[in-house]
Amino acid sequence: MAAKVALVTGASSGIGEATALELKSRGFVVYGVARRVDRMRHLTKSGIKVLSMDVTDDDSMQAAVDAIVSEAGSIDVLVNNAGYGSYGAVEDVPMEEARAQFEVNVFGAVRLVQLVLPHMRLRRSGTIVNITSMGGKIHTPLGAWYHGTKFALEAISDCLRMELQPFGIDVVVIEPGGIKTEWAGIAADKLRETSGHGAYAVQANAMAQSMVGEASVKRQSPPQLIADTIAQAVTAAKPKTRYAVGFGAKPMIFMRSILSDRGFDGMMRTATGISKALKARSA
């Protein structure tokens, strides 16, 4: 039986890199894609094929998919992992940045789904893995646009799952918790840049510190945990529709399900240090 072909986005670091390596170790033909090929050179030593792709550029996505199908004959697994966290108060975040967040985290992922589906339908098999977040089920302070993208991708995945069931194609959602990647640092920097000096500065600086503080970093799970979960899903005869894994994912999603809206708001303000910071300012 021919080896299955997997396309992994955001493969230059973190979850994407770990997933590409894990799938390769399990016998998949793996194509790792990202904007910067130079950051993926090391993956070629493990037999991973690397291609340049910008998920905000339609021509780039089309060219990569065409190249993979031409060379490998099919795409059996798509792992939509590329994404970033844009944090800041709704009042502060420029609409250009809000649109950019959706372009990368939602529209890029969905466009890739559109591009691979004709090949999967032809074979009446395939697995689409969308990396959302526990942030697709919960909310955190100053993360409106980021959470908006993850909530959106959760809903799109649910609809897509029903559409594709008659064609034998599975749709899987992975909901990571806190993971040791570049994500938290990038999100914290954007938060400070956007809201760290105005009306929301107290909240923004407390939230940013909670993202990158030593206590948070120590508890984060390794990217390999997510890679193992993805590998488990794409090799299962009947994968789960959702996998909540990594630090805090299951407990936080559970707490959101049992607390009232305001009760969860209060818990998050306390957990992120915002309540303490606001009290200190007013003292």
Residues 6+ apart with CB under 8 A from 11: 17, 19, 20, 32, 33, 34, 40, 43, 48, 50, 81
What CA–CA distance (Å, rounded) separates 105 from 249?
A: 19
What CA–CA distance (Å, rounded) separates 192 from 108?
A: 26
3-state helix, strand, coil in the chain (%, to 5): 60, 15, 25
* Beta strands 126-131 and 169-176, pairing class: parallel
- Compute and round to an integer the Cα radius of gyration of the chain: 19
Does the annotation mark 31 as catalytic?
A: no
| Catalytic residue, candidates 31, 84, 87, 146 | 146
Our CA dihedral for 71, 72, 76, 81, rounded to 10 degrees, sits at: -50
Q: Looking at the DSSP assignment, which residues form a beta bridge with residue 5? A: 29
Contact 53, 33 (CB under 8 A): yes
Contact 18, 2 (CB under 8 A): no
CA angle at 215 for the pair 143 and 231, rounded to the nearest 5° = 70
DSSP 30: E
Dihedrals phi, psi of 17, to nearest 5 degrees: -60, -50
In order of 219, 265, 282, the CA distances from 262 in angstroms are 26, 5, 22
Active site residues: 146
